[in-house]
Amino acid sequence: MSKPLSDHDKKKQISVRGLAGVENVADLKTNFNRHLHFTLVKDRNVATKRDYYFALANTVRDHLVGRWIRTQQSYYEKDPKRVYYLSLEFYMGRTLQNTMVNLALENACDEAMYQLGLDMEELQEMEEDAGLGNGGLGRLAACFLDSMASLGLASYGYGIRYEFGIFNQKIANGWQVEEADDWLRYGNPWEKARPEYMRPVQFYGRTEHHPDGIKWVDTQVVLALPYDTPVPGYRNNIVNTMRLWSAKAPCDFNLKDFNVGGYIQAVLDRNLAENISRVLYPNDNFFEGKELRLKQEYFVVAATLQDIIRRFKTSKFGSRETVRTDFSTLPEKVAIQLNDTHPALAIPELMRVLVDEEKLPWEKAWDICVKTCAYTNHTVLPEALERWPIDLFHTLLPRHLEIIYEINRRHLERIASLYPGDVDRLRRMSMIEEGSQKRVNMAHLCIVGSHAVNGVARIHSDILKATVFKDFYEMDPHKFQNKTNGITPRRWLVMCNPGLAEVIAERIGEDFIRDLDQLQKLRNFVNDEAFIRDVAKVKQENKLKFAVHLEEHYKVKINPNSMFDVQVKRIHEYKRQLLNCLHIITFYNRIKKEPNKEWTPRTIMIGGKAAPGYHTAKMIIRLITAIGEVVNNDPVVDDRLKVIFLENYRVTLAEKAIPASDLSEQISTAGTEASGTGNMKFMLNGALTIGTMDGANVEMAEEAGEDNFFIFGMRVDDVEAMDVKGYNAFEYYSRIPELKQAIDQIAGGFFSPKQPDLFKDIVNMLMHNDRFKVFADYEDYMKCQEKVSALYKKPKEWTKKVIMNIAGSGKFSSDRTIAQYAHDIWGVEPTLEKLAAPDDL
């Protein structure tokens, strides 16, 4: 009998991991040892696993350097239109493996480490996630950077280098506990500080109106120190830049003008200024009007615009340097994309620079501003929309408030001329909201100050036009567009699921990695027995691997033949983790009622972080862990149902969980989830979806074919009709016995015997105050779950649907999304350029 292949040997056979040429491996070993010695200053007697990770990271990084310098040089030489993606979040996750994938170095590095007696996967586990995001919006920005580099766009990501990213979630006695994410503690090998590009950013002060213009004076200055991270394209030798700003107090901070507390106190107070980039606000889809957050938003915008204008003014053609002074060409050279309203201050800041500093007339400046900026909306939830109190604005950014008033005055004038006498319309469309507290509506500012406004899935873009931005759509229909979100197939297939990438590549070649639409060709293999077997086998291997992780972590015995039913995303009422809970409880009750029936076994996993201040979300986590405690310890249930709360869900855990999932739960109330991108990751990795007709689910079902999709629940129209009629939770509760039983159990302490009223707030909300109408979809959801269970009993039928889903997932590549932004909004074309490989070392 031949020896089974080791993990290492199995990986070697996978071609998508790049070639492991002999010279390549020898060089990598030499350079690894060189870095261990000269960079880490260690030898193998004392080196830790982390030292080995850093040595490998530096070895891989060396391969980026020449490509990075060359790419940036070519941007100065060719002077193409540049795209600036401004975002308060870039949820990058880990970088080492992604770099190896994009540079085709993975197999060679694996071999080099193997020959040195090291396990590359173990070293990879030493890397911290760059968790500079909350969820979908931040991860989208990260996927977009990969696609922009892979398509050869001259583009940049601009954001904040938070010292602390999204908190680490611990579960203690069933409750979420937050821990600070000190991700930079051991250093970050992927960033390069650029103190030579430091920029001043002003705050507070007042304005002075002089005959020759307006001055913003008596300000406090904080310095913005940029850190550059390389963003490699997929095997095209292009390396773009993500530039993240860190706050630094100037040397004379608090010493120049107010030397009150003396020197020591002034030095201690530098912290106050530097707090600006200290920590990411951990809210997803929720606006918290804190001064420090407004400071962060202005900080990134002011520093970035200075960089954009410097680059616009100076372009080097070969050895010649030209200085541009004519700003009317700015929109031909610069596109600024606003990732939600968070960087909306780019609009008044650009106006301030053009009018106050560059002395352009207002009309001219405004025309340039609108042509340069574009705005992406990510949500219709009212609690997520940014509405800053005027007082705060006035104190922190007095000049910007004046500019916004002027923008608004002209905006209202235009409305008044288009709709004479329509006073209510003026009120609805104003950027300034009256009321007990006056506020600036940032979405209105963004729409007016941009030439394009887009939603992130077809249904969401339609809802924007029909409801929240209806008035604006009526006035300027040409601005409104849709750009359905996408995910990068490099990280979310090749990197996290090499087994699946390989069985696909064996059938249709490797071109799908750059051109995901080619997955359509897999429809030809839907009846191919060998392909069905291969797809099912990869899934089973991924499940077994994840089961080992789960058993180690949660001390629960996992049945690897059970359906892995997964809902991972931020915890939020609108995402309806509670509906999932009701399914779990009902399934449990059914097993208990008929213990001898042939139930389709499930391992149900739910994971996600709750915003630290969101009480209901934290209670939802407690309910999930409480249900798990009862269900997992019930001998009658045995291995037919397990409930696991996946602790600390983040990019890295997604990369492990998604390839191992059978069923993806996408069950938000129709009309609430703008797009979703997790949904796409599951589809691409061979899970079937149970979902509502919400966000991108609608388009996913269309691409896969509705027969291959488990759709249930109210459509947007039904939800709207119910809002008119009124939603009565009690009616469902009293009519549906299994629902009543589940609610009575939660309310009566069945899952919290030591504290019977623990979940009274949740029950009250569900019964009397549920904005998201959980009960209204319960029956249909249960029926749909029964269909899922029935299909899972027929593995071949199941896998055929999986194949139809993978084959239909091509549309959801972020390469397609970015190509559309480039063509329809930015006015640039993907160059698909490949630079020649530099001589790296």
The contact set with ligand D6G (CB under 6 A) reads 68-69, 72, 192, 194, 197, 228, 241, 307, 311
- Choice between 294 and 309, CB closer to ligand D6G: 309
**Residue 802: closest CA among 630, 623, 667, 682:** 682
DSSP designation for 230: E
Please state the closest distance from residue 41 (CB atom) to ligand D6G, in A: 25
| 3-state secondary structure (DSSP) of residue 439 | strand
Q: Is 409 exposed, middle or buried (0-12, 13-18, 19+ CB in 10 A)?
A: exposed
Active-site position among 543, 576, 681, 773: 681
- Indicate if 378 belongs to the active site: yes
Instruction: Give the active site residue among 82, 490, 543, 575.
Output: 575
Helix, strand, or coil here: 634?
A: coil
Q: For ligand D6G, which is the closer residue by CB, 72 or 632?
A: 72
CB of 201 to ligand D6G, least distance (A): 17
The closest alpha carbon to 20, from 29, 510, 59, 31, belongs to 29
Min separation Cβ 198 and ligand D6G, Å = 12
Question: Residue 681 catalytic?
Answer: yes
Query: ∠ CA 711-714-717 to the nearest 5 degrees?
Result: 125
In this structure, the number of other CB atoms found within 10 A of the CB of residue 412 comes to 17
Pick the catalytic residue: 161, 378, 460, 576? 378
Q: Which of 584, 646, 570 is nearest to 612 (CA)?
A: 570
188-212 burial, b if ≥16 CB within 10 A, otherwise e?
A: bbbbeeeeebbbebbbebebeeeee
Catalytic residue among 94, 483, 569, 642: 569
Strand order in the sheet with 710-711: 641-646, 602-607, 563-568, 663-666, 688-691, 710-711
Q: Smallest distance from the beta carbon of 27 to ligand D6G, in angstroms?
A: 23
364 has catalytic annotation: no
Catalytic residue among 295, 451, 570, 622: 570
Q: 809 by DSSP, 3-state: which?
A: helix
Catalytic, 569? Answer yes
Cβ atoms within 10 A of the Cβ of 152, count? 21
Cβ 194 to ligand D6G shortest distance, Å: 6
Q: How far is the CB of 231 from ligand D6G (least distance, A)?
A: 10
How far apart are alpha carbons 365 and 348 in whole angstroms? 11
247 vs 303, beta carbon nearer ligand D6G: 303
Q: How far is the CB of 727 from ligand D6G (least distance, A)?
A: 53
User: What letter does residue 40 receive in the DSSP assignment?
Assistant: S
Give the residue with the Cβ less far from ligand D6G, 229 or 562: 229
| Cβ closest to ligand D6G, residue 228 vs residue 662 | 228
Q: What is the dihedral of CA 512, 515, 520, 524, to 10 degrees?
A: -40
Cα(376)–Cα(481) distance, rounded to whole angstroms?
Answer: 9
Rg (CA), the chain: 27
Nearer to ligand D6G, 37 or 70 (CB): 70
Q: Distance of CA 354 to CAs 297, 397, 449, 452, Å? A: 20, 17, 14, 21
Minimum Å gap between C-beta 699 and ligand D6G is 37
Of residues 311 and 640, the one with the C-beta less far from ligand D6G: 311
Nearer to ligand D6G, 68 or 164 (CB): 68
Residues in the chain: 841
Cα–Cα dist 818/458, whole Å: 16
Q: Closest approach of Cβ 542 to ligand D6G, in Å?
A: 37
Retrieve residue 676's tokens.
């979703």
| Catalytic residue flag (residue 557) | no
Give CA 448 to chain center in angstroms: 26
The C-alpha atoms of residue 447 and residue 436 are separated, in whole angstroms, by: 25
State how far the Cα of 627 lies from the Cα of 619, in Å rounded to an integer.
12
With contact defined as beta carbons under 8 Å apart, do 159 and 242 qualify?
yes
**Helix/strand number for the chain, H first, E second:** 34, 27
Measured from the CB atom, the residue of 194 and 414 that comes closer to ligand D6G is: 194
Is the Cβ of residue 77 or residue 424 nearer to ligand D6G in the bound state? Answer: 77
A 10 A CB-CB count for 230 gives 21
Report the distance separating Cα 449 and Cα 441, nearest Å: 13
How far apart are CB 314 and ligand D6G at their closest, in Å?
Answer: 9
Cβ-proximal residue to ligand D6G, closest one: 228
Task: Write down the catalytic residue from 677, 689, 692, 817.
Answer: 677
Q: How far apart (Å, rounded) are the C-alpha atoms in residues 14 and 504?
A: 11
Nearer to ligand D6G, 13 or 73 (CB): 73
- Cα dihedral 616, 622, 623, 627, rounded to 10, equals 170
Residue 810 CA to residue 597 CA, distance in Å, equals 40
Is 796 marked active-site? no
The answer to whether 465 touches 700, Cβ cutoff 8 Å, is: no
CB of 98 to ligand D6G, least distance (A): 18
User: Closest by alpha carbon to 182, among 278, 90, 246, 247?
Assistant: 278
C-beta of 78 vs 794, nearer to ligand D6G: 78
Distance CA 159, CA 146 (A): 16
Q: Which is nearer to ligand D6G, 311 or 800 (CB)?
A: 311
The nearest distance, CB 159 to ligand D6G, in angstroms, is: 15
Active site residue ranges: 378, 569-570, 575, 677, 681
